[in-house]
Amino acid sequence: MLISNRIFVAQQITAPSEPLLFRNLIGEERLSELYELNVGLLCPQNTLDLKSLLSKSFTVEINDQAAPTRYLNGNITGMTLSGQEESGERYYIYNATLRPTLWYLTQNQDCRIFQEQTVPEIILSVLSEYKINVDNRLSYNYRPWGYCVQYQESDYDFISRLMEHEGIYFYFTHQADGHTMVLADAPQGHDTMSGYDSIVYRLTRGGLTEDITTIYEWKVSDVITPSLYSLDDYDFRKPRANLLENRRNPLSFAKEKAEIFDWPGCYTDQGHGQFYARVRQQEFESNHETMQGQATSLGVAPGYRFMLDNAPRAEDAREYMTVAARYFFQENSYSSGDEIETEHNIAFEVVPADTQWRPARKTSWPKTNGPQTAEVVGPDGESIWTDKYGRVKLKFRWDRYSRGDETSSCWVRVSSNWAGWQYGGVQVPRVGEEVVVDFINGDPDRPMITGRVYNEDNMPPWDLPANATRMGIMSRTKDGNIANANSLFLEDSPGIESFDMHAEKDMNISIEDNFDILVQGNRTRMIEGTNTSTTNGPVTQVMNSTLTSTVQGPATQLFNSTLTTTVATVLTMIAPTMMIQPTTNMISITPDSLEATLIKVFAAGARVQAIGADIRARGAHIDSTQFEAKINPAFLWVTTAKILVDSTVLKIFKQQINIGKLELNAKDLVVYL
């Protein structure tokens, strides 16, 4: 049962009465993958509490006489009691499954949003939630992602697809008390394992002592990879921009067209497209030249470099970086008489150390399964929150972490039934409304509002189904209530069809050409304020029936030019007092007959002229300081007339005058008969 001088030693994590002895280990490590180590253990007792061992850190110590001690560490994620040895001490056999702490990220599924962060920042943020030890060896400057969504995927799948997209990969270093996740993106991110700077190649497998660091099998593979990688995308803020990028693979030997075209490339800047094209090209190059082999050396591990000594070909005598290692370790028996011997073998895959290795994009990008709804949000106290493109912010139903304000999402574009240069339809969704959201190419990073729906908190503007025949639009005054709205209704109920418009305040109508209205029934117009009408051209009104105008207050008409009124039959004007006040010295009336009960003319320099007129006035009074009355030819009938003339000439030419009583008071009166 002695464990001294053994190559493989199991860490003691149980009670001294229940010691664990290393039996064997089978497992695999690979760049950018979770390792899994299956460790066989022996124990004299079959009473181990398996549940108590789950999630415990466990380490296998690897002792090499020619190099420092190496460790393989992991968390126990599975523990099995699998039987008992058939001979010797008849130890009980346990099997422990070791995985990295990073494996716990595969055990959840979540939806959340990251904004204005680079992929390394997102990765480190997620890893910090699990208290994972990280050695950050990234050397590139990575672009910030304005909006990045983890959508119905595990934390591990989320960060894996982001790392694969950016060309970031990881591997693990192991210590006696744990392990560390190393983030890398360049050859400079790799070290040699202490004591294993170089490993000797020998054609045959050596023994277990002097040849413990031997590589005994070496294969070289060259394969054809795509010759050209192209990708493209679209940015609505630069709709005419050419974002197409491509990168040729200088190591490709493809004779035919072997182009990979990706859409969308998940970028909006041409420089970012160039970066991704280069990363994809390097991904293909990573698989172009690879080496596979097997070794008894214990210093072959993913992420570490070594120099191949005594290479089978001169061109192979160079430094390599290990991509993958498959371990088979076995310790000799703890019972006397057993024939089980110590064995260690590592099958590996390497690439030249100067290769810019990139991970394959094997993690699926999540897709949304059809549209969903979300709520429009904004800053506290704002009922409308938008930008120059009419975009709004949203809180998705699956978002458990945001505050439901303007920081909850990116700006989200809003579909319109018509959109063009300075024309189309604009209806900005308001805070609190429920909208229908779809995603471009099914990508949760690219939401777009395609519609709006009512809910119990936001009901339609009229009762349904009672008003199912009504359709139209009703707006709402900003920060107003149900009584503050503009509206347009179409009522399609048989017999009461109608078209109704309402302006909450002002209504402005602009027509650049003709405006024709046909009313086949009645028209009623009520204006409770001032009515102003301005016409710059001729006005023609044709009324085929009667006209009645009622003015409750004073009425004033101003004609800056001639006014002509033609009446086919009778013109009747009724007023207690009728006054005509000319601004010149002349009033001209040209009727066939004019009869008045009382005519008063008060004018300075007034002139009354009648040609061929019959003027009858009862109680006519003319008072003027410079008055000329000219009737030619006419019949003047005056029942009672008083004529006061001061420096006035009264001229009557060939007239018939019938005056009952005439009072003349004049200076320089001349009468011509």
Q: Binning pLDDT at 50, 70 and 90, where does residue 189 land?
A: very high
Q: Binning pLDDT at 50, 70 and 90, where does residue 613 land?
A: very low
pLDDT over 90 at 610, yes or no? no
165, containing H or E segment: helix 155-166
Query: What's residue 574's pLDDT?
Result: 84
Range 205-221 average pLDDT: 72
Q: Binning pLDDT at 50, 70 and 90, where does residue 595 land?
A: low
Q: Which has more confidence, 53 or 89?
A: 53
What DSSP line would sit under 623-668, residue for residue? EESS-EEEESS-EEEEEEEEEEESS---EE-S-EEEEEEEEEEESS
CB atoms within 10 A of CB 31: 23
Place of tokens 């360049």: 186
Taking only the tens place, the pLDDT of each residue in 416-440 is 999 999 889 999 999 999 999 999 9
Q: In Å, how far are 44, 452, 546 from 385, measured between CA atoms?
A: 71, 16, 56
Own/partner long-range contacts of 173-178 (Cβ < 8 Å, ≥24 apart)? 173/135, 173/303, 174/59, 174/70, 174/71, 174/72, 174/73, 175/71, 175/73, 176/59, 176/61, 176/69, 176/71, 176/73, 177/57, 177/59, 177/73, 178/57, 178/73, 178/133
Q: Which has more confidence, 90 or 102?
A: 102
Query: What's residue 311's pLDDT?
Result: 93
Range 75-91 average pLDDT: 89
Q: Which has more confidence, 601 or 325?
A: 325
Range 653-671 average pLDDT: 48
Q: In Å, how far are 102, 444, 448, 495, 497 from 266, measured between CA atoms?
A: 26, 12, 16, 57, 52
563 and 582 Cβ atoms separated by less than 8 Å: no
Task: Characterize 565-596 residue by residue with b for buried, 16 or more Cβ atoms within 10 angstroms of its Cβ, and e for exposed.
Answer: eeeeeeeeeeeeeeeeeeeeeeeeeeeeeeee
Query: What's residue 107's pLDDT?
Result: 97
Mean pLDDT (the chain) is 86
Query: What's residue 615's pLDDT?
Result: 52
CA dist., res. 462 & res. 271, Å (int): 53
Place of tokens 């595969």: 106
The interaxial angle of helices 119-128 and 155-166, nearest 10 deg, is 150
301 and 295 Cβ atoms separated by less than 8 Å: no
Range 516-525 average pLDDT: 91
Range 33-38 average pLDDT: 98
Query: What's residue 406's pLDDT?
Result: 96
Range 586-615 average pLDDT: 53
CA dist., res. 428 & res. 374, Å (int): 15
Q: Binning pLDDT at 50, 70 and 90, where does residue 655 land?
A: very low
pLDDT over 90 at 96, yes or no? yes
190 and 184 Cβ atoms separated by less than 8 Å: yes
- Among the listed residues 602, 91, 133, the one whose alpha carbon sits nearest the alpha carbon of residue 334: 91
Query: What's residue 622's pLDDT?
Result: 53
pLDDT over 50 at 633, yes or no? no
CA dist., res. 120 & res. 140, Å (int): 10
User: Where is mean pLDDT largest: 9-23, 109-123, 460-474?
Assistant: 109-123
Q: Binning pLDDT at 50, 70 and 90, where does residue 652 land?
A: very low
> What's the whole-model pTM score?
0.80
Q: Which has more confidence, 490 or 671?
A: 490
Ramachandran area for residue 442 (φ above 0: left; ψ -120 to 50: alpha; else beta): left
Query: What's residue 660's pLDDT?
Result: 47
What DSSP line would sit under 114-154, residue for residue? E-SEEHHHHHHHHHHTTT--EEE---SPPPEES-EEEEEE-
Q: Which has more confidence, 254 or 363?
A: 363
Q: Binning pLDDT at 50, 70 and 90, where does residue 249 land?
A: confident
pLDDT over 80 at 146, yes or no? yes
Length in residues, the chain: 673
Candidate from 2-11, 168-177, 194-203, 603-612 with smallest mean pLDDT = 603-612
Amino acid identity of residue 8, one-letter, is: F
Give me 395's structure tokens: 């809180």
- By CB atoms closer than 10 A (0-12, 13-18, 19+), residue 424 is exposed
CA dist., res. 398 & res. 110, Å (int): 9
pLDDT over 60 at 547, yes or no? yes
Query: What's residue 259's pLDDT?
Result: 86
pLDDT over 90 at 533, yes or no? no
Place of tokens 């959109």: 419
Q: Which has more confidence, 636 or 397?
A: 397
Q: Binning pLDDT at 50, 70 and 90, where does residue 200 land?
A: very high
Q: Could you tell me the sign of the dihedral formed by the alpha carbons of 444, 445, 451, 457, in that order?
A: positive
Query: What's residue 635's pLDDT?
Result: 46
Q: What angle do CA 629, 631, 635 make, to 5 degrees?
A: 125
User: Where is mean pLDDT largest: 206-220, 580-594, 619-633?
Assistant: 206-220
Range 485-506 average pLDDT: 93
Range 250-279 average pLDDT: 86
264: preceding bond cis by omega (within 30 degrees): yes
Taking only the tens place, the pLDDT of each residue in 149-185 is 999 999 999 999 999 999 999 999 999 999 999 999 9
